[in-house]
Amino acid sequence: MAQQLPSVMVTVYGQPKKKKTSDLLAAFPNALFVGVPSALTLVAQNELGYTPAVHPTPPQTLVQLVQLLEDFAYNPEKAQQYGAIVIDDASHLCKRSMLEWEKEAGRNKFLPYQMLNKHLLHISGLARHLGVHMAMTFHERMPGTNADGLLCPGGPEVPSRNQVQAIPSWCDLNVRAMVDPTYPDPWFPGVYYCDPTDPEWVTGDRLGVCSRKTPGNLREILRASNSGYQLARIPGLEWQDDIAEELAQAMVSGQSAKEAIVAVTQTVTDANPLHLRWACQDGIARGVLRKQRSKSLFDFTSEKEDSKGASAALSNTLPPPPPTS
């Protein structure tokens, strides 16, 4: 029997249009994507220059998602050909499921919430045993109080505040997608917020890579860990790692991200511009992460913002949360 490769389970949540879907398409370009086929294809083609493998008849409820994951769990070769399964917009599946369960509930007002709890736990358990990477995107639910007046942290948007931590508790990585204008990516300054000590938001990282302001680049986060994850490029685009590495080294050597981009790309004349940008964004994230991780585990001095912007993404001051209204 072939040795099973290490796999990761990830949840990414955030407000709309924070590049959650784009980043997972970039992190797992050979994955099977489960979501709205037209939307996933549109994003991949226009932002990354490729056409992803998309499930032709995606599940519309959590019941159907469980059936799909059970099929993969009982027939592992189906999932292994993709290396990863990505569920895009699980919040939508949760909402549709609650509507169906409310129709069935009659006078039992607790039934929909019991079914939600049951299916989220089942999905989490299945995901841990697929033998491939699995990632899920959610919209964001703000911190608030439950029916008993108890404080519940913000996190993935699910119909019950008491279930916000259900799937994240199973995940290796649970991050909040945000925008930080100081992050040195000239195309989109996306970062992932991760601070398990913050009672306001559900986040966590078993990989030992993320901080309060981590590059919003899942591929480079996984690559920076010591877990040996397999992250294949699209066949024919393996050269992207050479570009990313050259750019990262230039940033670590003191160049700004923009200076490094100009230096690295000026001799590249025959690449698809979207593929080249993708490689550069990986390189920026790689350079920032290396600068982050070069700090000693026993260096507790406050982090200074790099004058050239290479480590500017690492300031600890978060932008204010969006209004709740």
- For the segment 18-28, the average pLDDT, to the nearest whole number, is 98
Q: Is the pLDDT of residue 197 over 90?
A: yes
- For the segment 61-72, the average pLDDT, to the nearest whole number, is 96
Band of pLDDT at residue 132, cut at 50, 70 and 90: very high
Range of the domain at 55: 9-171
Q: Are residues 35 and 134 in the same domain?
A: yes
Q: Are residues 148 and 252 in the same domain?
A: no
Q: Is the pLDDT of residue 141 over 50?
A: yes
Domain end point (choices 171, 188, 206):
171
Q: Are residues 147 and 284 in the same domain?
A: no
Q: Is the pLDDT of residue 291 over 90?
A: yes
- For the segment 130-156, the average pLDDT, to the nearest whole number, is 92
- For the segment 37-54, the average pLDDT, to the nearest whole number, is 98
Tell me the C-alpha distance between 186 and 5, whole Å.
35
Q: For position 29, what pLDDT does the model report?
A: 98
DSSP collapsed to 3 states, 108-154: CCCHHHHHHHHHHHHHHHHHCCCCCEEEEEECEECCEECCCCCEECE
Examine residue 2 and state whether it is found in any structural domain, yes or no. no
Examine residue 226 and state whether it is found in any structural domain, yes or no. no
Given CA atoms 210, 52, 124, 143 in this order, what sign does their dihedral have?
positive
Tokens 């670590």 appear where? 252
Tally of structural domains, the chain: 2
Q: Are residues 30 and 123 in the same domain?
A: yes
Q: For position 148, what pLDDT does the model report?
A: 84
Q: Are residues 165 and 23 in the same domain?
A: yes
Q: For position 244, what pLDDT does the model report?
A: 98
Lowest model confidence (mean pLDDT) among 135-139, 167-171, 283-287 = 167-171
CB contact at 8 A, 194 and 203: yes
Mean of all residue pLDDT scores within the chain: 90
Band of pLDDT at residue 293, cut at 50, 70 and 90: confident
CATH of the domain at 150: 3.40.50
Q: Are residues 18 and 164 in the same domain?
A: yes
Q: For position 302, what pLDDT does the model report?
A: 56
Q: For position 299, what pLDDT does the model report?
A: 76
Q: For position 6, what pLDDT does the model report?
A: 87
Domain end point (choices 171, 196, 223):
171
Q: Are residues 167 and 31 in the same domain?
A: yes
Tell me the C-alpha distance between 124 and 296, whole Å.
35
Q: Is the pLDDT of residue 214 over 50?
A: yes
Examine residue 283 and state whether it is found in any structural domain, yes or no. yes
Band of pLDDT at residue 308, cut at 50, 70 and 90: very low
Examine residue 154 and state whether it is found in any structural domain, yes or no. yes
Tell me the C-alpha distance between 287 and 307, whole Å.
15
Lowest model confidence (mean pLDDT) among 135-144, 210-219, 263-272, 289-298 = 289-298
Q: Which of 152, 178, 175 is nearest to 318 (CA)?
A: 178
Q: What is the pLDDT of residues 236-274, one digit of tens each?
A: 999 999 999 999 999 999 999 999 999 999 989 899 999
Q: Are residues 39 and 120 in the same domain?
A: yes
Q: Are residues 166 and 304 in the same domain?
A: no
Cβ neighbours around 115 below 10 Å, total: 19
Q: For position 2, what pLDDT does the model report?
A: 47
Band of pLDDT at residue 296, cut at 50, 70 and 90: low
Q: Is the pLDDT of residue 212 over 70?
A: yes
